């Protein structure tokens, strides 16, 4: 019975997401596109934090590199969208491998501070290497050509691009979910709880952490490749440490102990920001207060709290 209810809710959510461009204005199409992209971004961070227990303050580096890779390819090479997206993932994976190799040997606050340092280094390079990145102005003026696979899609149409993002995010989420539910994902959970015991069992904790870090960076690069055409620009702000704070907040807000938690957190974050900015210019102060209250009183995140409440009702 429980499984049937969950499947019915999931089917209704999927149907609603598919129907968004047909029942809502372009404004909400843009909002839901942003939610989907940032939700996957937060989920990629949650693989590193929620499952492996590594708090990274530099996750935006992979997000931003994915965006810059997409923009550079579209400007100079004009490759199909899917090919450009794969290059974005590859560039972010390579960067994550380098940063992860140097960072995963450290624990807790030292790991967090080192990832922050590397993230700011990447931001500084993008900000100052004007001949490639156009500095603070970022890369803009690129156009979306063909999608690839022989499909004739008008990616410049917001509704079409929304459905493309929805499909890619859905596929990526399924892959990420299978990774989290695999024996590899279970090992990551064990490392988060007791790395010493996992090490005593004969497993190389550092290798598992590095692989998880690279996977998380790769999926972050995917979201970066999706955000550049959406924003029509790849700018240094996408690499800034403040951007790294967003997936942290979204994951905690939704619930780090649940796979769908980051998606719920991303939806809450974007919708709250959208509503508050319509009423006041001091939206960051109001949003900060609301989010602080929610984090304090919803200890397991929004999704975790709802699940606990549902279990109490069922009793």
Residue ranges of the domains in the chain? Answer: 28-239
**Model confidence band, residue 305 (pLDDT cutoffs 50, 70, 90):** confident
Percent of the chain at pLDDT > 70 equals: 97
Q: What per-residue confidence (pLDDT) applies to 2?
A: 52
Average pLDDT, the chain: 90
Residue 215 has pLDDT above 90, yes or no: yes
pLDDT band at 4 (very low <50, low <70, confident <90, very high): low
| 3 has pLDDT over 80 | no
Q: What is the pLDDT of residue 283?
A: 75
307 has a pLDDT exceeding 70: yes
- Is 96 within 8 Å of 210 (Cβ atoms)? no
Taking Cα atoms as reference points, which of 31, 6, 281, 15 lies closest to residue 170?
Answer: 15
Cross-strand bridge partners of residue 139: 234
b/e sequence 51-67, b meaning 16+ C-beta within 10 Å: bbbbbbbbbbbbbbbbb
Token pair in block for residue 96: 């994550």
Half-sphere exposure of 315 (CA within 13 A, CB side): 6
pLDDT of residue 1: 43
Check pLDDT > 70 for residue 138.
yes
Q: Mean pLDDT, to the nearest integer, of 267-285?
A: 85
pLDDT at 22: 92
């Amino acid at each position: 019975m429980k499984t049937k209810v969950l499947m019915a809710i999931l089917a209704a959510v999927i149907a609603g997401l598919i129907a968004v461009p047909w029942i809502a204005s372009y404004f909400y199409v843009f909002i839901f596109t942003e939610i989907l992209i940032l939700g996957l971004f937060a989920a990629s961070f949650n693989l590193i934090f929620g499952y492996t227990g590594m708090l990274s303050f530099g996750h935006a580096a992979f997000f931003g590199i994915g965006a810059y890779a997409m923009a550079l390819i579209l400007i100079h090479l004009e490759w199909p969208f899917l090919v450009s997206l794969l290059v974005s993932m590859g560039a972010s994976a390579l960067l994550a491998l380098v940063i992860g190799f140097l960072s995963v040997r450290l624990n807790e606050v030292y790991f967090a501070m080192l990832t922050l340092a590397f993230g700011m280094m990447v931001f500084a390079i993008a900000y100052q290497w004007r001949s490639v990145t156009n500095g603070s102005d970022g890369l803009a003026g690129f156009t979306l050509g063909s999608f690839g696979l022989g499909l004739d899609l008008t990616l410049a149409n917001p509704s079409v691009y929304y459905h493309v993002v929805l499909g890619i995010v859905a596929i990526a989420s399924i892959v990420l979910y299978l990774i989290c539910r695999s024996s590899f994902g279970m090992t990551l959970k064990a490392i988060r709880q007791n790395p010493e015991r996992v090490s005593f069992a004969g497993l190389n904790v550092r290798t598992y952490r590095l692989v998880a870090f690279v996977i998380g960076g790769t999926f972050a690069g995917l979201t970066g490749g999706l955000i550049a055409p959406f924003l029509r620009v790849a700018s240094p702000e996408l690499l800034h440490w403040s951007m790294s704070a967003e997936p942290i907040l979204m994951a905690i807000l939704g619930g780090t102990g649940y796979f769908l938690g980051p998606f719920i957190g991303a939806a809450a974050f974007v919708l709250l920001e959208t509503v508050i900015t319509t009423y006041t210019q001091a939206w960051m102060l109001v949003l900060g207060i609301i989010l602080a209250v929610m984090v304090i009183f919803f200890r397991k995140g929004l999704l975790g709290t709802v699940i606990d409440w549902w279990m109490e009702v069922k009793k």
